Chains A and B, each alone.
Chain A
Amino acid sequence: MAIVTARARSVASVSRAARRSYGLAREIPFIPCLVLAVLACVAIFAPVMAPYSQLDPVKPTQEQCQARYSMADCPYVDNVPPFWARQGSLDTPLGTDSLGRDVLSRLMYGARISLIVALVGTLAAGAIGTLLGILAGYLGKWWDQVIMRITDAWLTLPSLVFAILLSSVRGPGLWNVVFILALVFWSRYTRAVRGEVLSLRERDFVKLAEINGVRKLQIIFRHLLPNVMNTAMVLFSLQVGVAVIIEASLSFLGVGVPPPEPSWGLMMAQEREGLMVGNWWLAVFPGICITLLVLSANMLGDWLRVRLDPQLRNR
C-alpha cells in the first residue's frame, strides 16, 4: 500500500512538473524576441543609423592610402580589418570589404533585405497556401482533387528551378527571391491546413452556419480562416528561418539577390573566399547575423507551436 502511494505521489509530481513546464511555456522566450526586435529596429532605421552608404566605397584618408598602397591618393582602401586588429580603424569598426565599402553599414542595410525577403516571401507563401488548403478541405470533391494533385506535384519541384526561371524571365533582382519563396513554399501550408479544415468542417458551428444558409465565402473567412490561423502561424514562424537560408544558398549559386545589394546571404557567398586569405570578418559577421535571425525565429516558432497547439496546451 505504501509503495503504491509513494509511486502515486511521484507520478503526481511528474504531472505537476509537466503542468508547470507548460505553464512556463506560456511565458514568451525573452532572448529570441529581443534579438528579433533589435534586428527589426536596425532594419527600419538603417538609413539613419548607418555611418556610410552601403553601395559606395568609404573615402579614404591620405594616410590610409599611403599605408596600404604607398600612393598619395586612392579611390578606396579594401579589406580593412575590424577596429581591434592592427590595421583596423574606428572609422570602419567592422572593417571594409573587397570593394572598400563599410561592413557595418552594409550589415544594417542588409537587415532590411533579409527581413523583407524572408517575411514578405513567407507571408505570401502562407497566404496562398492557406487559402488553397481551405478551398481544398472545405469545398471538397473536384477542388480537393485538383488542388491536392497540383500540391503534390509542386512539393517535389526544387527551389533552384524557380530561381533560374525567374532570373531568366525577369532578370535577377530582389523581388525574384520573394517570388521564389512564395512560389516554392505555399505547398507546405496547403497539406497541413487542408487536414485541419477537414476536421473543422464536421464541427457544429460550421454545420449550423451551413444550415442557416450562410454563403460559403463567408463561412471560409468568418469561421474557417481564424481557426486555421494557429497552424498557419506556427508554420510561418518556422519557415522564416528556412527562407533566410534559402536566400543565402541562392545567392551562393548566383541566382539570389544580385550584387551590389548588401543582402547578408550575398555578402557571405561573395566574400567566403576571404576565409582562405585571412579576411575572415567579411564572411563571419554576416554569418553571425543570419545565425541570430534564424535561431531566434526558430525558437520563437517552437514556443508558438507549444503555445498554440490545443493538445499540448490543455493538458
Chain B
Amino acid sequence: MKRYILTRAFYSLITLWLLATIVFGMVRLTGDPVKMRGEVGADAAYLDQIRRNWGLDKPLHEQYISFIGNLLRGDFGHSFEKSLPVGTIYFERFPNSLKLGFSAFVISIVLGVPLGMLSAFKVNTWWDNFGKVIALLGLSIPGFFVGLVLIIIFGVELGWFPVLGKGPSAFVWGDPSTWVTFWFQDWHYLAMPAFALGWYFSGAMVRITRSGMLEVLGSDYIKLVRLKGVPERMVMAKHALKNSMIPILTLAGLNLLVMVNVAVVIEVIFNWPGVGQLLYDGLSNRDFPMVQGVVLMSGLMIVVLNFVIDALYGYVDPRIRLSR
C-alpha cells in the first residue's frame, strides 16, 4: 500500500512538472507581451523598462529556472496586466468560481439525475427520448446564446434577476466574518449563470445516471430484490440509485473542477468574476504569469483530486491494500 501511494505521488509530481514546462513554453510562443502592451508612440526606453520589470530580457533558460524556483516557493509572479501578485488575484477570485461551480453542479444533479432515472426506467419509450433531449439541449446550444437569452428574458424584460456580476458579498481571506456568510448571500445574482452552466453539465449527468441505472437494473442483484417483493419505488430509490451513485459522484467531482476552472464563456457573458475570466484576460493580453498561474493552479487541483481518488480506490481494492 505504501509503495502504491508513493508511486502515485511521484507520478503526480512528474505530471505537474510537465504541465509547468508545457505551459511555460506555450505562453512564450504566443507573442511578445511588451510590444502588445506598448501603445503607438511609446518610446523605446519605456518599452525596455517594461521588459526588464517583467523579467523578459533574461535568456530563456534563466527565465525557466527562476520560474520553477519561484513555483516551489509558491510564488507565481506578478501579473503583467493587473500589476499585482498572481497568487493574490487568483485566490481573491477562486471562491467566486467555487460558488458558481458548486451551484451549477447541484443544478446539474437536480436536472440530470431524475431525468436519467426516468430515461432508465422507461427505457426506449417516448419518455426516454424526452429526458435525453431536454438534457442534451443544454449541451447543444452554445453557452453564450443561452446566457444572453436568459439575460434578456429574466434580467431585462422580467427584471427577476440582476444581470451583472456576483453582487456585493465577497469572500475576503483576511476577514473571517465573510468566510461563512459569502456562500449564502446574493443568490439572485447566481441564479442565471449557475443555471446556464448547470444545464450544460446535466447532459453528462443524465448519461451517467441512465447507463449506470440500466446496468444495475439488469443485474442479478436487482432481480433478487424484486423477487423478494420489494415495491418498485423502493427498488428505484434505495437500491438502484445507491449503486449507481459511485460513478456519478466520481465523474461529477472531476467535472466540478473543470467547471470551476474553465467556465470562461459563462463568466464573460454574466461578468462573473471567476478564474475563467482571469484566464481569458491573461491570454488576450499575453499576461504570462497569470496564464501560467491559472493553468497550474487548476492542474494542481485536478492532479491532487486524481491522486486522492487513486488512493481511495487503492484502499478499497484489497489486492492493493494488502500488498507491500
Contact = CB atoms under 8 A, between A and B. Distances in A.
B245 interface: no
Interface residues of B, dominant DSSP = helix
Contacts of B152: 275-276
A158 B295 CA distance: 8
A252 B142 contact: yes
A159 to B, nearest CB: 8
A157 interface: yes
Interface residues of A, dominant DSSP = helix
Interface residues of B, number: 57
Contacts of A15: 223
Interface stretch (B64-72, B177-185, B187-195, B276-284): B276-284
Nearest to A151: B15
Interface in B1-25: 11, 14-16, 18-19, 22-23
A200 B106 CA distance: 38
Contacts, number: 147
Interface string A229-260: 00000000000011001001100110000000
Interface string B18-60: 1100110011011100000000000000000000000000000
B137 A291 contact: yes
A272 B139 contact: no
Contacts of A294: 136, 139-140
Interface stretch (B74-82, B93-101, B258-266, B315-323): B258-266
B214 A312 contact: yes
A149 B15 CA distance: 5
Interface of A: 3-4, 7-8, 10-11, 14-15, 18, 21, 24-25, 145, 148-150, 152-158, 160-162, 164-165, 168-169, 241-242, 245, 248-249, 252-253, 265, 268-269, 272, 275-276, 283, 287, 290-291, 293-295, 298-299, 302, 305, 311-312, 315
**5 closest pairs, A vs B, by CB?**
A294-B140, A156-B299, A153-B19, A248-B142, A153-B18
Interface of B: 11, 14-16, 18-19, 22-23, 26-27, 29-31, 123-124, 132-133, 136-137, 139-145, 148-149, 152, 156, 203, 207, 211, 214-215, 217-218, 223, 226-227, 229, 261-262, 264-265, 268, 279-280, 283-284, 291, 295, 298-299, 302-303, 306
